[in-house]
Amino acid sequence: MAQGVRDGIYDLLAARGVSRRDFVKYCGSVAALLGLSEMYAPQIVSAVEAGAKLKPTVWLDMGLCTGCTESLAQVDTPDVASIVLDLLSVNYMETIMAAAGTQAEEARTKTIADGGYVLVVEGAIMTGEGGNTLRIAGKTGLEILKEAAGKADAIICVGSCAVDGGWVNAAPNPAGGKGVLDVMPELKAKTINLPTCPVNPEWIVAMVVDVLLLGKLPAMDDKNRPTLIFGSTIHDNCPRRGHFENGEFVEAFGTEAEVKQWCLYKMGCKGPQTMTNCPSVRWNRRASWCVESGSPCIGCGHVYTNWVDASAPFLSRMTDVNLPGLGGVRPETVGTVVGAAAAAGLLVHGIASAATGRTSGPPMETEKAWDKKHKASKGGDN
Amino acid sequence: MARAIIDPVTRIEGHLRVECEVENGVITDAWSSGSLYRGMETVLKGRAPADAYYVSQRICGVCPISHGHASTKATEDALKVTPPDGARLVRNIIEGAETLHSHILWFYTLTALDYVDVVSALSANIADTYALAEKAGTAVADFGAIQKRLKTFVEGGQLSIFTNGYWGHPAMKLPAELNLIAVAHYLQALEIQAEAAAIIAVMGGKFPHFMTSIPGGTAWMPTEEKLDDVLFRWKTVSEFITNALIPDTLAIAPFYIEAATYGGGVKNFLSWGVFEDKSLDPLKRVMPRGAILDGKLELVQPDVAKIKEYVEHSWYSSPSGLNPAQGQTQAKFTSYDTNAQYSWIKAPRLDEKPMEAGPLSRMLVSYLAGVPEVKDLVDTTLTALGVAGKPEVLISLLGRLAARNLEAKFVADKMGEWIMELIGAVKGGDAKFFTEPTETNGQGAGLWEAPRGALGHFIDVKDGKIANYQVVSPSTWDCSPRDAAGVRGPLEEALVGTPIADIEKPLEALRIVHSFDP
């Protein structure tokens, strides 16, 4: 890259209060977020340097609660002002844009006419009542999506509603809420799905870097989810996993077991069948995440049916659920498999459970097998 | 005569269209149209009651805490379970954090761009800006660097979220230096709202949409480490409110003082009350329950049995005039016609009256109920604005704006007390946080307050499953269409009488809409 252009970018960043050092550090954290080695940081740096012009972005509000926009405002690095002012030119985003009505519509139609933009979709695509369950400026939400989708370079569906209708799609789906790819499957080649309710903002940033700066879509599974984010279960990476192994379970809310952060599996935790990296990325600038707060995971990252129908009742252990896809294979609805798999897991680790809702297995042992085995040996402070 | 149409109304939660009849530069009639229907009430039928807590909060991504709490309260009312006192404190703190988060976001991110000319800030004199900040007693920032950042941004030609804004509009009144201060605090507020939200994350897992205020109490167990985290985050947010939000409000208000003369709306106010005290009695809530009718500053008690929801002007085929405890929701789109049906919002009425919900309602009710800190805040502000002893001035656009920011100060101070109380309870070692519900049948109501106003969840539980579920949210009250008698909703009424300088850019109408924080 010509030195002049490079200097220009650092002048631009400096004017925006970003030092070169901060910038390189930021690229390192983005690399980590993408699951790349820090060695990739220089490549991200040069990719950013190449993009002196801010990428136009259209953020569509469909059948939404605005929670995913709210979630974006909770992003850790870079801060939200940097995203909407320094990384992207967010020409249309109803919740935060200055313009309204005609002036807002002009901003959207002009950006679409010019092409070369990223489209972000938040909320379910509303198909009920002839699509009139969502009306914007005299059009249906679906008409607005169709106008915007064709010329977009890439489409990022943020949150479960845009991915598969989310809670709006839950039975009996009275308003006809659906996911973007359900109504426009032809967009599959350029769409990234980021489920959960709301979306985790760190993932949006990672995708922005992937699409804009590395210039490609990330590796994705059969449901267009980036595999780096949605490739393993919450249970696999849960900080409470050790307690699961030890057979230490929360049996009721408000108890000492909760203070000790024991495993919430018996309280209905959907961590074993939910594939996201929540335990490592965490939420709200990494302040905490669902399981750490004491609630079982409610499986809001499910994508094979909407997460509410897949995971409710949330405070009951499931014996009939959709297991997440294994190796990209469409999962089957299985009644016995989860019971058997869970039982197998418990047995392998030398424990059993008398939890209500479990289909089989011997009663819970009063003493953990590991303790029994190691009782005689010395250790720790002995 | 001409129609000014704002569709979409931006900088709100959800989807809204507003249509105004304008004559001789003043709005003479108005229509508010909610343009999204998702069907939450129907989705919840047949599910487990605790699932309503988790799902119903997803009605609103800005105020999920309030929906979650209203839902949990409805279920606790139905299943006759009383949460322990520890859970009361935890919920108050979470609710308070959401209120602060929401009010800060509303003032700086959603509303300020109606009053603050971002482009004008470019011509501010930096020395004068510091002098003005000093005089206003508001927080200073590196004003020079912020102006430079703004300049680079504007000269780059890509205005991003500021594209097509109302820069240079005749209704913009602030001097350049005050605009620059406001822009600096606009950027800072983005940080502070996230800090308030992080309090909820610590206690509730994440925000938006939290995990812990389940029927019976809370799943969150406080520890010293977590309480310390909460305390210091609260301190940061609280200081911003005292040192920026309040002085900014007082500095900006005099330039828009004519906004105290219109925008009062229906002059009926409803507050279900919010933040429980030890007794769990709604009349003794920290912000108590009450109503004000016909602009008469006297407190009356609202009777929930006298609520009716009308659908003559909404797209529903279910019966009109039902009480929400027996409410029904059956969608039926016809066409958009301001003379017939024009909204997905129902028209709730209390004793046949449209009721304004929100911080102005809560502050007026608390003022009349004699909550000492509220009386003090309101009286001091009235004196500062030169209208001492005239609380009726608050029934206006300006009053609605000021009430929200004064409430932020009140809630921030109360939160400090609750956090210390919770620390004391944990120290005592016998605090309880959860009581398991055992009943499987019952009807209940959760009458509560979201940051944007009175909120009711209504549940009917039969054999452990939800037989019926209804929600009357604050924006249902505020943004409602006409009722069976053709009476306008609060937003519609507040728009009438508002001056409009440029019908192509009806910024003043937008200000009225944003004052309700829909």
pLDDT tens by residue, A61-105: 999 999 999 999 999 878 888 887 778 899 999 999 999 999 999
Integer-rounded Cα radius of gyration of chain B:
23
Can you read off the two tokens belonging to residue A43?
Answer: 């490549």
Q: Select the residue of A103, A197, A252 nearest B164 (Cβ to Cβ).
A: A103
Task: Compute the distance between CA of residue A193 and CA of residue A60 in angstroms, rounded to an integer.
Answer: 15
Mean pLDDT, 10 residues at a time, over chain B (518 residues)? 94 97 98 98 97 98 98 98 97 98 98 97 98 97 95 88 95 98 97 97 98 98 95 98 98 96 98 97 96 98 98 98 97 98 98 98 98 98 93 97 98 98 92 96 98 98 97 98 98 98 97 98
Sheet holding B26-34, edge to edge: B2-6, B16-23, B26-34
Q: Select the residue of A67, A138, A252 nearest B58 (Cβ to Cβ).
A: A67
- Secondary element (H or E) of residue B505: none
Can you read off the two tokens belonging to residue B209?
Answer: 């949409």
A353, pLDDT greater than 50: no
Q: Answer yes or no: A269 catalytic.
A: yes
In terms of DSSP bridges, do strands B2-6 and B16-23 run parallel, antiparallel, or are they unpaired?
antiparallel
Give which of B503, B34, B25, B22 is closest to B314, Cα–Cα.
B34
Measured between beta carbons, which residues in chain A are less than 8 angstroms from residue B35? 134-136
Measured between beta carbons, which residues in chain A are less than 8 angstroms from residue B55? 167, 170, 308, 312
- Indicate the pLDDT class of residue A7, thresholds 50, 70 and 90: low
Q: Select the residue of A53, A107, A129 nearest B333 (Cβ to Cβ).
A: A129
CB-based contact A137 B7, cutoff 8 Å: yes
CB-based contact B190 A73, cutoff 8 Å: yes
CB B118 within 8 A of CB B179: yes
Catalytic, out of A290, A302, A349, A374: A290
Task: Indicate the DSSP class of residue B168.
Answer: T
Task: Compute the distance between CA of residue A107 and CA of residue A94 in angstroms, rounded to an integer.
Answer: 11
CB A329 within 8 A of CB A323: no
CB A131 within 8 A of CB B197: no
Measured between beta carbons, which residues in chain A are less than 8 angstroms from residue B505? 103
Task: Give the number of beta-carbon pairs within 8 Å between A and B.
Answer: 313
- Decide: helix, strand or coil at residue A134: strand
Measure B194 CA to nearest chain A CA, in Å: 5
Asked whether the CA dihedral A359, A363, A365, A369 is positive or negative, the reply is negative
Q: Answer yes or no: A374 catalytic.
A: no
Percent of chain B as helix, strand, coil, to the nearest 5: 45, 15, 35
Can you read off the two tokens belonging to residue A167?
Answer: 């809670």
Choose, out of A167, A293, A297, A356, the residue to mutate when testing the contact with B (most B CBs < 10 Å): A293
Catalytic, out of A157, A243, A300, A302: A300
How confident is the model over A10-32, as pLDDT tens digits?
Answer: 555 565 556 666 666 666 555 55
Q: Who wins on pLDDT, A21 or A183?
A: A183
Which amino acid is it at A49?
Answer: E
CB A124 within 8 A of CB A165: yes
Q: Answer yes or no: A27 catalytic.
A: no
Catalytic, out of A27, A238, A243, A302: A238
Can you read off the two tokens belonging to residue B428?
Answer: 């005592």
A343, pLDDT greater than 50: no
How confident is the model over A229-271, as pLDDT tens digits?
Answer: 999 999 999 999 999 999 999 999 999 999 999 999 999 999 9
Task: Compute the distance between CA of residue B124 and CA of residue B116 in angstroms, rounded to an integer.
Answer: 13
Task: Compute the distance between CA of residue B119 and CA of residue A118 in angstroms, rounded to an integer.
Answer: 26
Q: Answer yes or no: A243 catalytic.
A: no
A140, pLDDT greater than 60: yes
Task: Compute the distance between CA of residue B82 and CA of residue B436 in angstroms, rounded to an integer.
Answer: 9
pLDDT given at position A347: 37
Task: Indicate the DSSP class of residue B80.
Answer: T
CB A124 within 8 A of CB A64: yes
Domain boundaries, chain B: 2-515
A143 and chain B in contact, CB less than 8 A: no
Q: Select the residue of A103, A259, A313 nearest B221 (Cβ to Cβ).
A: A259
Measured between beta carbons, which residues in chain B are less than 8 angstroms from residue A298? 54, 211
CB-based contact A313 B205, cutoff 8 Å: no
pLDDT given at position A68: 98
Cβ-based burial of B381 (10 A; exposed 0-12, middle 13-18, buried ≥19):
buried
A281 and chain B in contact, CB less than 8 A: no
Measured between beta carbons, which residues in chain B are less than 8 angstroms from residue A101? 5-10, 506
Maximum distance among all Cα pairs of chain B, rounded to whole angstroms: 70
pTM for this one? 0.90
Mean pLDDT across chain A, nearest whole number?
Answer: 79
Catalytic, out of A27, A243, A278, A302: A278
Task: Indicate the DSSP class of residue A294.
Answer: T
A98 and chain B in contact, CB less than 8 A: yes
CATH superfamily for B2-515 is Cytochrome-c3 Hydrogenase, chain B (1.10.645.10)
- Secondary element (H or E) of residue A368: none
CB B192 within 8 A of CB B100: no
**What is the CA angle B47-B51-B55, rounded to 5?**
110
- Helices (H), strands (E): how many in chain B? 15, 11
Q: Name the β-bridge partners of A117.
A: A152
CB-based contact A254 B207, cutoff 8 Å: no
Give which of B44, B54, B105, B6 is closest to B452, Cα–Cα.
B105
Q: Answer yes or no: A278 catalytic.
A: yes
Measured between beta carbons, which residues in chain B are less than 8 angstroms from residue A170? 43, 55
Choose, out of A86, A284, A285, A297, the residue to mutate when testing the contact with B (most B CBs < 10 Å): A284
CB-based contact A254 B220, cutoff 8 Å: no
CB-based contact A15 B212, cutoff 8 Å: no
CA dihedral angle for residue A351, residue A353, residue A359, residue A362, rounded to 10 degrees: 70
Measured between beta carbons, which residues in chain A are less than 8 angstroms from residue B433? 253-254
Give which of A104, A175, A278 is closest to B330, Cα–Cα.
A175
Mean pLDDT of A347-370: 37
A292, pLDDT greater than 70: yes
Task: Compute the distance between CA of residue B475 and CA of residue A160 in angstroms, rounded to an integer.
Answer: 24
- Indicate the pLDDT class of residue A345, thresholds 50, 70 and 90: very low
Measured between beta carbons, which residues in chain A are less than 8 angstroms from residue B163? 89, 91, 97-99, 107
CB-based contact B205 A291, cutoff 8 Å: yes
Measured between beta carbons, which residues in chain B are less than 8 angstroms from residue A135? 15, 17, 35-36, 336
- What backbone phi and psi angles, to 5 degrees, belong to B487? -80, 135
Task: Indicate the DSSP class of residue B278.
Answer: T
Domain boundaries, chain A: 1-52, 53-230, 234-374
- Indicate the pLDDT class of residue A40, thresholds 50, 70 and 90: low
Task: Indicate the DSSP class of residue B355.
Answer: -
Can you read off the two tokens belonging to residue B479?
Answer: 């943004």
Q: How many CB atoms lie within 10 A of CB A360?
A: 9
Cβ-based burial of A355 (10 A; exposed 0-12, middle 13-18, buried ≥19):
middle
Q: Who wins on pLDDT, A303 or A335?
A: A303
Q: Name the β-bridge partners of B499.
A: B26
Task: Compute the distance between CA of residue B182 and CA of residue B114 in angstroms, rounded to an integer.
Answer: 12
Cβ-based burial of B232 (10 A; exposed 0-12, middle 13-18, buried ≥19):
exposed
ipTM metric: 0.97
Catalytic, out of A27, A157, A243, A297: A297
- What backbone phi and psi angles, to 5 degrees, belong to B391? -60, -20
CATH topology of domain A234-374: Cytochrome-c3 Hydrogenase; Chain A, domain 2 (4.10.480)
- What backbone phi and psi angles, to 5 degrees, belong to A322? -85, 115
Choose, out of B22, B43, B226, B233, the residue to mutate when testing the contact with A (most A CBs < 10 Å): B43
CA dihedral angle for residue B405, residue B406, residue B411, residue B417, rounded to 10 degrees: 140
- Indicate the pLDDT class of residue A335, thresholds 50, 70 and 90: very low
Measure A39 CA to nearest chain B CA, in Å: 30
Give which of A152, A272, A162 is closest to A217, Cα–Cα.
A152
pLDDT given at position A263: 96
**What is the 3 state secondary structure string of A23-68?**
HHHHHHHHHHHCCCCHHHHHHHHHHHHHCCCCEEEEEEECECCCHH
CB-based contact B206 A283, cutoff 8 Å: yes
Catalytic, out of A27, A235, A243, A302: A235
Residues 6+ apart with CB under 8 A from A75: A83, A201, A202, A204, A205, A285
CATH topology of domain A53-230: Rossmann fold (3.40.50)
Q: Select the residue of A66, A84, A255 nearest B61 (Cβ to Cβ).
A: A66
Task: Compute the distance between CA of residue A248 and CA of residue A264 in angstroms, rounded to an integer.
Answer: 9
Measured between beta carbons, which residues in chain A are less than 8 angstroms from residue B8? 61, 94, 100-101, 104, 136-137
- Indicate the pLDDT class of residue A368, thresholds 50, 70 and 90: very low
Residues 6+ apart with CB under 8 A from B356: B265, B266, B267, B268, B269, B270, B453, B477, B478, B490, B494, B516
A113 and chain B in contact, CB less than 8 A: no
Residue A362 Cα distances to A262, A318, A344, A365, A372, angstroms? 21, 18, 12, 9, 18
CB-based contact B163 A177, cutoff 8 Å: no
Integer-rounded Cα radius of gyration of chain A:
23
